[in-house]
Amino acid sequence: MDNYWTKIDYILELASWLFSNEYFLDNIIDLIDWTIDLLLTSSEAYKQQQDINPIDGQEIDSKSTLSVFVFC
């Protein structure tokens, strides 16, 4: 589990570094999209969300909103 979150942290850190060093935005957006895909498709993230936020036996809405911030 630690490796999963470390991977996401490193990808976002790389995107932030590329942005601050004025690399192409297409590359940065691709990295952020990859991170979003990892978060949305990972069973580990889903299990952790279930542990943190149980909803009395109800299913989680599949159309939830995800916000991503890139700090420069």
Rounded Cα–Cα distance for residues 53 and 17 (Å): 32
In 3D space, the residue among 5, 28, 24 whose CA is nearest the CA of residue 16 turns out to be 28
Q: Tens digit of pLDDT for each residue in 36-59?
A: 998 888 776 666 666 666 555 555
Q: Cβ(12)–Cβ(32) under 8 Å?
A: yes
Q: What percent of the chain has a predicted confidence (pLDDT) above 90?
A: 44
Q: Cβ(16)–Cβ(70) under 8 Å?
A: yes
Q: Where are the domains of the chain?
A: 2-50
Higher per-residue confidence, 9 vs 65:
9
Kindly report whether the global pTM for this prediction surpasses the value 0.75: no
Q: What residues contact 19, with CB distance under 8 A and at least 6 apart?
A: 25, 28, 70, 72
